[in-house]
Structure 1
Amino acid sequence: MKIRFFLLDIDYITEKKGLKIRLWGKTADGKNVVVFVQSNPYFFVFPKDIKKAQKDIEEILKGKNISVKGIEKIEKKLNGELKEFLKITCFLPQHTQKIRDFIKVLEKNRGGTGSIIEEYEYSINFYRRFLMDKRIDGNCWLEIEGEKLNTNYKVDLALNAKKIKVLEDISIPELKILAFDIETSEIAGEKQIVMASFYGKAFKKVITDQKSDYPDWVEVVKDEKELLQKIVKTFNEYLPDIIVTYYGDSFDFQVLMDRCQSNKVKLIVSRDKTETKFTRRARISSARLNGIVHLDIFNFISNILSPSLQTEVLSLDAVSSELLGDKKIEVDYQEMLEAWRKGKNLSKLAEYCLKDAELTYRLAEILLPQNFEITKTVGQILFDVSRMTYGQLVEWYLSRKASEKNEIIPNQPKYEQVLKRRKITYIGGFVKEPLPGIHEKIAILDFRSLYPSLIVSFNISPETLNCDCCEENGHKVAGLNYWFCQRKEGFIPSVIKELIEKRSQIKKKLKETEKTSLEYKVLYNRQYALKIIANATYGYFGFAGSKWYSKECAESCSALGRYWIKKTIEEAENKGFEVIYADTDSLFLKTKDGDIKQATEAFLDYINEKFPGMLELDLQGYYETGIFIPRGAAPGTAKKRYALIDKKGELLIRGLETVRRDWCNLAKEVQRKVLEFVLRDKDIEMAKQYVKEVVENIKQKQILLKDLIIYEELTKPIETYKQIGPHVMAAKKLRERGMEVGEGMLIMFIITKGQGSISQRAEPVEFVSLKEIDSDYYIYHQILPAALRVLQVLGVSEKDLVS
């Protein structure tokens, strides 16, 4: 039989009959499918003497009592040149590493015969290799021809595949998405789950074990064990395609797993009816549900989306506020504990819990299409891609393209190599310090994908560096003794060129496509996926753990970037512009006389004619007024410190406290208001008066405690911190009170009055009242520095703001 289905997940199983890949997905008419495919893992050996190497390998394996499925001679490109390799096909995924370790002794530098030079691709994940080999575009539509099977899985159809075809189809079937969230409380010295909430399309549910007068969507059970059983039952009855959490890898599923084990409840959610397991993904362990995708939105936001967000606080509340224009229901921790212990206000607690699941669901609705397009670009599945950093996305994209172009994928560097690389430095991008003060009628220009354009234009790739054929006439790097080949296109430039050209074609198509259509949304997300991968490639050259690491390539990109921004500044000044500020790939211009728009358009036409290759300068926007703060004008080290206001009165702020997480909300609000007084109203006196009022309110404690909370993330386990900052101290105090604290957790604390350093006086917000705050700390370390960051440039001093 033949079926079409949308791939959602992939894994593999080992049976008596051999190794099988499992493809899980959904048909257009809503049927859940699993497809079994026979496949075998393999790796490559680069021999010095191919016949001797094969003979030596066979001899070693005889003595080790391990067999291989086959050894064959093939041709692959290594550093752009076609070479002979041995392809060793194994029976099990774990055998690739094992056999590689056995035969490594044949290398000359290990005292062997020298018949082997190196082994490659032995550590590539088996199912990820399968996706690359079959040219499967991540979560995409597949056509399967095969035989129908019987299984006890929670699916409508199972097939043994004979043929697999990747289809061109931009649609996504209607998927059952279920958001999940839990609330916990300390009971009898243990963290227990007291509420669980679910939210899906036309579905909402809260389960709790404490009686009260609840709405009809709340189900009351007798104890925590029954609550856990009901959670498992809800998952299995709803049978979602995707389970969405916010911080679920590190909290919700971790706690759920622990409590299930303590209560002897089996956490069986997967479609193959096996218990939930945790698999390592980057720095975290992730809850893996076979056949059901667990999407932890926090990971994607933290790794990929955060640079484009205004907020640096990545809590569900802050992210929902920015992306959805909606917030959590306000309930502080003390109120929550009290509600639970005294059995009061439990209905509000249920609404609070459900709201978290609702916000998580709505975030998934807007972020899933983006995620799916990234999976199609990288060629891997949602579970993995949603947890990848920029560097990992680039690595898997390059690996996919290497497989397509018959290139050998370089090995992961050893730990010692990584440590050595981390010590190597080079000069970064050029920054022209801003002209301090207020400026009017500003144009911002930036290079369109500066580093990707330079990589393509100058053919920057490890194998094209300092080639023998182009020493005299290669692509020279200004200020460095490097050149890149003019004759043969490098692997990485060829890949990035495809990305840039694809994105350019999509952007043209977007202009002709109806904005409300499905096609527009898909194309927009696709060009975004192409953009983030192309822009991250330069950083990947210099990343110590990179498979395609090249300090020379990273340094060359940086040097060429500096050369062309300086050249552009020089040309702009020659054309009568005043360059207020420049940073890496952008320039801030104003004209000494004449119309800024007219002058800018003429300059763009002129300068783009002069640029080589794909290098191009774009208009980012026009702004009515802006304030620029030079480094050293006030405390702090951020290189980008400015605020601009456009014709609509909207603020664009960079590098100031309003967009940083380590300042309380009141300090951020003060700075934003000061910027509005200065840029919108052009009234410095009003700004000063406003700051004085806030200072007085703090002294009189006429403020809200929540506006004084400082947020800081624990980026590693508490024990590993050598410097004990306020957030680490607050985290320790939380743990001493029996609360679970771990890496990645956002710590919320208040600085209280009393003896000792600021760190010693940092207290978790849950245990502080307004009367305990250190007013002087908030005035002199938060409010005044935030205000003076703007006002000091305009001649205002601390004395002017404190009576």
Structure 2
Amino acid sequence: MIEADNSKGQLVCIIDADYVLSDKEPLIRLWGKTKSGRSVLILDRTFDPYFYVLPKPSADLDKLVEAIKAMEIEGSKPTRVEIVKKNLYGKEYDFIQVFSNNPTDIPKFRDTVKHFDGVKEEYEYTIPFYRRYIINKGIVPMSWVRVFGKEIKTNADMDLSIEAEKIESIKEEEISEYPSLHILAFDIETSQAEGDEIIMISMMDTKDFKKIITYGNKASNVETVANEEEMIKRFFQLVKEQNPDMIVGYNTDRFDFQKIAEKCEKYKIPIILGKDDSHMIFRRRGRVSAARFRGRMHIDVYDFIENILEDSLSTEVLSLDRVARELLGLKKEKLSWKEIEELWKKGDIKTLGEYCLHDSLLTLKLAKNLLPQIFELSRVVGQTPFDASRMSYSQLVEWLLIRAAFNSNEIAPNRPKYDEMMRRRRAEPYAGGYVIEPKEGIHEHLALFDFQSLYPSITITHNISPEMVDCNCCEVETKVPDYEHHFCTEKRGFIPIVLENLVRRRIDIQKKMKKLEPKTMEYKRFNSRQYALKILANASYGYYGYPGSRWYSRVCAKSITAWGRYYIKNVMELAKKLNYEVIYGDTDSLFIKIKTKKAAKEFLDKANAMLPGVMELDFKGFYKSGIFVLAKSGVAAKKRYALIDEEGNLTIRGFERVRRDWSKIAKDTQEKVLLAVLKEESIQKAVLITKRTINKLKSGKVKMDDLVIYTRLTKSLSQYEQVGPHVAAARKMKERGITVKEGYIIGYIITKGTGSISSRAEPVSDAKDYDPDYYIHNQVLPAALRVLQGLGVTEEKILHSSGEQSDLTMFKKK
């Protein structure tokens, strides 16, 4: 029975969407949950796929319409052909809208129509059908709808199935929470010794279910089956029995489900993990093939972290262990792949089972931590969590704009063809942000100012949008600095309107957050939403210059950076007029010597008074002192500085301390050196710290974990002509049966012996010793001298001096 009578409709939160062909016609399926936790499948047969045709100005519109109506491809004909008025880059045109009753006909029809006389271009033929549906119907995933219709029976494992007659979207203000979702996490373990077999699968969910499955030896905490084939079948059976709304994993797109798919092909097992009887499929999402099953959402937490969160994390590698440590304060049980092999050979299933189950626990906790961000991102861009969690920044912006385009009666421009994309890539680079070289040395009393969302605010303030470039409708009052371009001041541009909406929504949410306790669920939900709005607004500038962009505009991209240079220069000029010294400026931030916080805030008010539109300068912090150092070339290094505030907190930018391609011992030494210089104002202590580290390396007492260097593979191993240490280590890993691909981060240690550094680079799990000379001369000394060489310290002094007393007075800038 339906929970509410049909006159009132059924309230459902939409979690996922897809379509199937029913009697050769498309059937949209919306998967959702009610407030009481019942699973609901909504079916809609009333929506037809379509695309647009733009006629040439000289075309006979009626004849072209008749020609399109008459075409027949493989027995299919358009079901409807209509003339509609739509805007393309802000200008209104007559478009021909071509409908079909089968989404697979759309590319066939388009391929035929493009050869017709009178056709200039075709549009929106690549938008997936289920995405087209939710955009046109105004349905926002992870938001609520009220559905009216009749209850029907289907083969889907759902509490309720409804044939929709009408679907109404509920405003966000009316219901903002999510339904309670049943989430199941899983992890697999493999063994190369057993011929690359899956040897164990663990599962854990939000209803306290936990299970470990293996074969062979038995243990009290593990369910044992006959063999690998039976284990996989049992895994599928347990998923069906537990019937979760969502399956989550860590790197499951690229590893776990790929491995399971290989085995299922070998054993001829159908992979049925969804809520109907369809098989799992892999859908291409960027560089990754995403595992999808109908009705049961699959979220690979790793994909979201790699695409969206990586730059905000301090961890060098995105392993489950490192990410869980940073985000949860929890860590993996420590077992190397060799130890896993040994446990399996010995039959220690209990220990191996605990290890495997702990991975599922960490994955489940990570998912619960990150799903609110994924859900809010899904809401903002209007795409399902399955899709949104796998999108890059540019893809998120694109789908935000496609939805906004439909709501504005705009046609979404086509993605560029290969040749056009290559032409864009080969274009001469345009000038970026303005940089004033930092003044080398130690500076006291520093105020840091930062433009609030500089590029989005410039886009909104100056109406920067492709269709607004060099308009003829208004007098040119203000040109772009350094260029002969201008932007319309009479009409608002499409993209500035979209961005302004994002910015205003974020401001409104931040106001609401101020009235809430930070520990409340509502506060956390709002915080996830404002973060989603922020990253999308900030990513919009990059989308103008992205070669694969639908709304690509080199003029817009370079105009935004030109205005950025103009405004930061103006603020710097203001500082000079007020007799403040600018120590460093880069794109959207600047350091100014100011004695007090009060003076800094007075300067802020004066700067903001001269900024137009929504542009605003923020006061980010006051620092007791900071050090800016020289690059190897002898000029001050951009974005390489360290600051210490009045509470003794250290902020580091650009030093080896914040880069993954330096060992922990080098980075820790550098941080201690910076603290000695900035906090204790002692060069002697900084030198002593470095000498002690060197002596410890010589003694052989440094932990191997502190010596690991991480480097990402930027291409496949076969494409490397120069074999660097990380490539050599990766090749050794591959020889030992470990999967290594482009994009993987390789951890290695330089070991003792003869030969090149690369030949002595061993994967972490295989390294038995380390080369102290390498770590002294290629890691610790360079990292320490990056700070100390500008203060008169040489390598000779560190290695051979007795460490005479030195202070920093002579190095402080007045």
Matches within 5 A, 1:596-611: 596-611=596-611
Q: Distance in 2 between matches of 1:307 and 1:487?
A: 39
1:295-335 residue CA offsets vs partner (Å, 9 max, x unmatched): 11111111111222222322222221211122112222322
1:688-737 residue CA offsets vs partner (Å, 9 max, x unmatched): 11211221222221111122122223344322334433222222222222
Query: Is the partner of 1:67 in helix, strand or coil?
Result: coil
Name the aligned partner's letter for residue 469 of structure 1. C
8 Å CA contact 2:447, 2:593 repeated in 1:
yes
Whether 1:220 and 2:224 are equivalent positions in the alignment is yes
Q: 2:444 — aligned with what? A: 440
Query: Is the partner of 2:121 in helix, strand or coil?
Result: strand
1:470: Cα distance to partner? Answer: 3.3
Match of 1:53 among 58, 64, 78: 64
8 Å CA contact 1:154, 1:273 repeated in 2:
no
Name the aligned partner's letter for residue 546 of structure 2. F
8 Å CA contact 2:439, 2:628 repeated in 1:
yes
Query: Is the partner of 1:801 in helix, strand or coil?
Result: helix
Q: Distance in 2 between matches of 1:194 and 1:692?
A: 48
Structure 1 gaps of 5+ residues are 107-112
8 Å CA contact 1:457, 1:615 repeated in 2:
yes
Matches within 5 A, 1:534-613: 534-591=537-594, 595-613=595-613
Q: 1:733 — aligned with what? A: 732
1:755: Cα distance to partner? Answer: 4.0
Q: 2:342 — aligned with what? A: 338
8 Å CA contact 2:215, 2:227 repeated in 1:
yes
Q: Distance in 1 between matches of 2:107 and 2:721?
A: 37
8 Å CA contact 1:634, 1:792 repeated in 2:
no
Q: 1:316 — aligned with what? A: 320
Q: Distance in 2 between matches of 1:293 and 1:272?
A: 12
Match of 2:248 among 244, 247, 253: 244
8 Å CA contact 2:751, 2:768 repeated in 1:
no
Q: 2:366 — aligned with what? A: 363
Alignment coverage as a number of residue pairs: 784
When residues 738 and 519 of structure 1 are mapped into structure 2, their CA distance, relative to the original with a 3 A threshold, is closer
Whether 1:183 and 2:189 are equivalent positions in the alignment is yes
Deviates more, 1:93-102 or 1:723-732: 723-732
Whether 1:94 and 2:104 are equivalent positions in the alignment is yes
Q: Distance in 1 between matches of 2:294 and 2:634?
A: 53
1:266-289 residue CA offsets vs partner (Å, 9 max, x unmatched): 322111122211110011001102
Deviates more, 1:748-757 or 1:479-488: 748-757
Q: 1:21 — aligned with what? A: 28
8 Å CA contact 1:433, 1:630 repeated in 2:
no
Matches within 5 A, 1:738-753: 738-753=737-752
1:482: Cα distance to partner? Answer: 0.8
8 Å CA contact 2:81, 2:97 repeated in 1:
yes
Q: Distance in 1 between matches of 2:748 and 2:69?
A: 63
1:471: Cα distance to partner? Answer: 5.3
Q: 1:689 — aligned with what? A: 688
8 Å CA contact 1:394, 1:537 repeated in 2:
yes
1:479-507 residue CA offsets vs partner (Å, 9 max, x unmatched): 11111111111111111111111111221
8 Å CA contact 2:438, 2:637 repeated in 1:
no
Whether 1:793 and 2:790 are equivalent positions in the alignment is yes
When residues 84 and 656 of structure 1 are mapped into structure 2, their CA distance, relative to the original with a 3 A threshold, is same
When residues 625 and 358 of structure 1 are mapped into structure 2, their CA distance, relative to the original with a 3 A threshold, is farther
8 Å CA contact 2:623, 2:644 repeated in 1:
yes
8 Å CA contact 1:633, 1:793 repeated in 2:
no
Query: Is the partner of 1:363 in helix, strand or coil?
Result: helix
Q: Distance in 2 between matches of 1:177 and 1:326?
A: 20
Matches within 5 A, 1:585-664: 585-591=588-594, 595-632=595-632, 639-664=638-663
8 Å CA contact 1:138, 1:377 repeated in 2:
no
Whether 1:194 and 2:191 are equivalent positions in the alignment is no
1:655-700 residue CA offsets vs partner (Å, 9 max, x unmatched): 2222211112222222222222222332222221121122122222
Q: 1:109 — aligned with what? A: none
Q: Distance in 1 between matches of 2:481 and 2:415?
A: 31
Matches within 5 A, 1:112-151: 113=117, 115-151=118-154
Q: 1:258 — aligned with what? A: 262
1:210: Cα distance to partner? Answer: 4.7
When residues 47 and 605 of structure 1 are mapped into structure 2, their CA distance, relative to the original with a 3 A threshold, is same
Whether 1:328 and 2:326 are equivalent positions in the alignment is no
1:44: Cα distance to partner? Answer: 0.5
Q: Distance in 2 between matches of 1:259 and 1:484?
A: 58
Name the aligned partner's letter for residue 605 of structure 2. D
Q: Distance in 2 between matches of 1:722 and 1:66?
A: 51
Q: 1:110 — aligned with what? A: none
8 Å CA contact 1:673, 1:687 repeated in 2:
yes
Matches within 5 A, 1:268-347: 268-344=272-348, 346-347=349-350
8 Å CA contact 1:148, 1:157 repeated in 2:
yes
When residues 213 and 695 of structure 1 are mapped into structure 2, their CA distance, relative to the original with a 3 A threshold, is farther
Q: Distance in 2 between matches of 1:233 and 1:714?
A: 38
1:223: Cα distance to partner? Answer: 2.3
1:734-789 residue CA offsets vs partner (Å, 9 max, x unmatched): 2222222223333222222334433333222222212xx22222211111112222
Over aligned residues, Cα RMSD in angstroms? 1.9
1:643-662 residue CA offsets vs partner (Å, 9 max, x unmatched): 22233333222222222111
Q: Distance in 2 between matches of 1:605 and 1:487?
A: 30
Query: Is the partner of 1:470 in helix, strand or coil?
Result: coil
Matches within 5 A, 1:396-475: 396-424=399-427, 425-470=429-474, 472-473=476-477, 475=478
Query: Is the partner of 1:10 in helix, strand or coil?
Result: strand
Name the aligned partner's letter for residue 796 of structure 2. K
1:587-637 residue CA offsets vs partner (Å, 9 max, x unmatched): 11222xxx42011110111111101111110111222232222433689x9
Deviates more, 1:726-735 or 1:242-251: 726-735
1:377: Cα distance to partner? Answer: 0.7
1:557-578 residue CA offsets vs partner (Å, 9 max, x unmatched): 0111011111111111222222
1:523-565 residue CA offsets vs partner (Å, 9 max, x unmatched): 2111111111111111100000000000010000011101111
8 Å CA contact 1:225, 1:263 repeated in 2:
yes
Deviates more, 1:774-783 or 1:274-283: 774-783
Query: Is the partner of 1:195 in helix, strand or coil?
Result: strand
- TM-score, reference length from structure 1: 0.94
Q: 2:701 — aligned with what? A: 702
Q: Distance in 2 between matches of 1:677 and 1:234?
A: 57
1:53-108 residue CA offsets vs partner (Å, 9 max, x unmatched): 2123234x1476430110011110111122111100012212111111101112xx
Q: Distance in 1 between matches of 2:79 and 2:754?
A: 71
Structure 2 gaps of 5+ residues are 1-5, 801-814
Whether 1:36 and 2:46 are equivalent positions in the alignment is no
8 Å CA contact 1:138, 1:378 repeated in 2:
no
Q: Distance in 2 between matches of 1:675 and 1:203?
A: 49
Name the aligned partner's letter for residue 147 of structure 1. K
- TM-score, reference length from structure 2: 0.93
Query: Is the partner of 2:631 in helix, strand or coil?
Result: coil
